[in-house]
Every structure is written in structure tokens, then in C-alpha cells.
Copies of this chain bind each other. A is one copy, B any other.
């Protein structure tokens, strides 16, 4: 018998029928002899409805009071799920964040969990009760209600799993796991049984939006195994999704590359003819960061005649603002020649912890792309990832070529 934390998102809790489905799923896991703690989100759309109502009353709602209000979304779903589980004949009990108590700091609307008192939950579990906890919320030391911000329910699930030393934390979503790449682009994409935390972080930050990065980081830090599963699979046809775990747990047959990730909404800016002197990167990028524009890749080429070219990428939404800033303010200030921009680019990345011990991944990647005539606009590498920037018209082709080149459609031997 082991203790499992299951987290269900707003889509899984979206209607009475879906809530009863979740109750049946919980009962099936319980019937296998597990102790179950369920963490739930608000019904899909509910948090946005509450925020809109607050803004109808107050243009800039006080954050303490906003938390009092939006925390009710999960308070409704914990009660509904507890009712549904009781109707199936099991003992069940709901807990708000404050009732658990999930102690957080006092940063309303984006609080951080400090401590979880697992005493009450432990007692209920030993009494054969399914415990249902409101995700996304906690209380500060003064008893004020707090919420954890975007993806907060995933974080609640992981934090509870850590506090209770759960066997694993199961995150139920509308996809059935993590894939080698987006199956809409590569029909042969394969669901991964396992992936390491580092790989998952790279995949997530590169646009495979299965899990919130924050909860993956949190799980890695607190050594909680995460499992991504679908809450929409029919009874009897359920799969085990993808387990996100530690490198040690993964067998020797680990492939070199685990997946191909990509992001579409990229843009590139280049400042040409920049005087090549110390501090120039800061003079260019400092004002960009000050304008709250996130910078991703940065490349400074070798200078000639004391002049260099300086390129970086930003989100496509930030492109017009970044371009104007560079052209109107930074260019005259640093004495550069001109500014060029391209907001029709994408980033494609190969991710895998296996590349640590396998040289030659980059050259294999570049060759595969070159054979298809795909020009590389920028290149960036980390220990477990190689990213290239390409013209957006090539993105699907690049993903397919790389997926095939690294044999991701083949089940590892």
C-alpha cells in the first residue's frame, strides 16, 4: 500500500458529470489499496469569472481581498468531489488550504508555500478516508487567505506529496503524457514512459505545455516523482502516462535525445556595427530588461575593425517595443550603425540527458537540417539541449526531420 497524491485541473472538474468521473477514478486507485490525497482546481472558467466580478466592483482589486474571493473556486470543487466520493460509498473529507494548514508567505496572488501541517491529513488517511485538498491556496501566519498564482494547484499537489512523502504525485490533464514531440506535427510522435526532471524542464520551457515549470522545479527540488496522466481515458483503457523522475531511475538504454521541442512565437533583433568594447552587452541589454522584455538567446559575433554585430531573441509580442527601444534609444547611445529585426522565426530544440555522454549530437542535428536546406539563423546549446532558430516556414519540417534523425519514432531497444 502506498500513498498517492492526485491532482485534477479545472477541465477535469468542469462539469458535475466530470466530477463524478474523477470520483470513480479515485475509487479505482483506492480499490488497489492505495491511500489517496486529491488536490483539485476550480471548475474551468470559475477563477476568471471571479476576477471579472472583482474588477466590476473595483478597477484594481485589493490583493488580500482578491485572494479571499478567488480561493472560493477550489472551495466549491473540494466539496463537490467529497460529495461524489461519499456517494460511491467511501469516506471522504474536504480541506481548504487554511484547514490543512498550508502555510505560505503573505505575497497575495503569488504566495510561496512555507510549510504544510500534514497531521490532520495523516489521521484521516489512517482512518481510511480519501482526503480532498483545495489547490492553489493557503494561509499566511496571520490567517489571511493567500493564493499561489498560475499553476498553483500543481504546486499544491507537489508540496503535499513532498510533505506526506507520497509514492508519486499524479497530475491529471487533458493529454495522456509527455510526447517525443507534438503529435499534431509528427504523427509518429511517441509517448515517453519516463523522462528526467531536467529534460522535462527544458521541454516545458520550450513550449511543451503539459506542466507548469514551477511545479516541475518544485518536484525536482523536493524529490517528488511526478506522473502526467489523462483524466479523460475510459475505465479499463487507462494508461500510466509519463513518469517524470530522476536520472538514476532511468535505465542504461536511455536514448540520447528524448524529445524535440519548439516555440513559434519568437522574434530576433540584431544591432549592426556596434563598437566592440567592454560593457557593450550590458549597455544594449540593460535597457531592454528594464523595459520588462524577457531575452532568450544572445549572440555576439567576432568583431572586425573594432565593430561587432549583436543579436538576441525575444517573444514575438515584445518585438515592436523592443525594436523601437533599440532603434530610437539604444542605437544612438552606443553609436551602432543600424538595427535589423525579424519576427518570422521559430526555435527548434533537441533535448536529452543522453547528450552529456554522447558527443556528435550537434553535428548530427546540423547535418540533418542542412540536408533539407534549412538555414540556421542562430544556435544555442546547454548541457542537455541544442536549440536552433530557423525561418518560421521551416518549423514543421525541422521538427519532423529531427524527430526522424534521432529515431524518436522507434521504441528504444
**Size of chain A's interface in residues, with CB distance under 8 A?**
36
Contacts of A53 in B (CB 8 A): 16, 76, 80
Question: B84–A68 contact, CB under 8 A?
Answer: no
Number of copies: 2
Known A72-B75, A98-B98; contact A65-B50, beta-carbon cutoff 8 A:
no
Contacts of A61 in B (CB 8 A): 83
Contacts of A80 in B (CB 8 A): 53-54, 57-58, 65, 69
Distance of A84 Cα from B143 Cα, bound (Å): 22
Distance of A72 Cα from B79 Cα, bound (Å): 11
Q: How far is the CB of A62 from chain B (nearest CB, A)?
A: 5
Q: How far is the CB of A169 from chain B (nearest CB, A)?
A: 24
**Residue on B with the closest CB to A72?**
B72
Question: A72–B82 contact, CB under 8 A?
Answer: no
Q: Residue A296 at the B interface, CB < 8 A? A: no
Q: Residue A173 at the B interface, CB < 8 A? A: no
Q: Residue A19 at the B interface, CB < 8 A? A: yes
Given B19, B57, B94, B145, which contacts A84 in the complex, CB threshold below 8 Å?
B57
CB proximity to B under 8 Å, residues A58-109 = 58-59, 61-62, 64-66, 68-69, 71-72, 75-76, 78-80, 82-84, 86-87, 93-94, 96, 98-99
Q: Residue A235 at the B interface, CB < 8 A? A: no
Known A53-B16, A53-B80; contact A68-B75, beta-carbon cutoff 8 A:
yes
Distance of A79 Cα from B64 Cα, bound (Å): 8
Question: B62–A83 contact, CB under 8 A?
Answer: yes
Q: Residue A248 at the B interface, CB < 8 A? A: no
Q: How far is the CB of A173 from chain B (nearest CB, A)?
A: 22
Contacts of A64 in B (CB 8 A): 82, 93
CB proximity to B under 8 Å, residues A234-271 = none
**Chain A binding site: helix, strand, loop or mixed by DSSP?**
helix
Distance of A93 Cα from B83 Cα, bound (Å): 32
Q: Residue A290 at the B interface, CB < 8 A? A: no
Question: B68–A87 contact, CB under 8 A?
Answer: no
Distance of A329 Cα from B78 Cα, bound (Å): 48
Q: How far is the CB of A226 from chain B (nearest CB, A)?
A: 28
**Residue on B with the closest CB to A56?**
B16
Question: A83–B96 contact, CB under 8 A?
Answer: no
Q: Residue A20 at the B interface, CB < 8 A? A: yes
Question: B62–A82 contact, CB under 8 A?
Answer: yes
Known A16-B53, A53-B16, A58-B87; contact A94-B68, beta-carbon cutoff 8 A:
yes
Given B76, B93, B143, which contacts A99 in the complex, CB threshold below 8 Å?
B143
- Name the residue among A50, A57, A61 with the largest chain B CB count within 10 angstroms: A57
Question: A83–B65 contact, CB under 8 A?
Answer: yes
CB proximity to B under 8 Å, residues A175-203 = none
Distance of A350 Cα from B94 Cα, bound (Å): 51
Distance of A83 Cα from B54 Cα, bound (Å): 8
Contacts of A72 in B (CB 8 A): 72, 75-76
Q: How far is the CB of A338 from chain B (nearest CB, A)?
A: 49
Question: B65–A94 contact, CB under 8 A?
Answer: yes
Distance of A322 Cα from B164 Cα, bound (Å): 58
User: Which residues of A are in contact with B by a Cβ distance under 8 Å?
Assistant: 16, 19-20, 50, 53-54, 56-59, 61-62, 64-66, 68-69, 71-72, 75-76, 78-80, 82-84, 86-87, 93-94, 96, 98-99, 143, 145
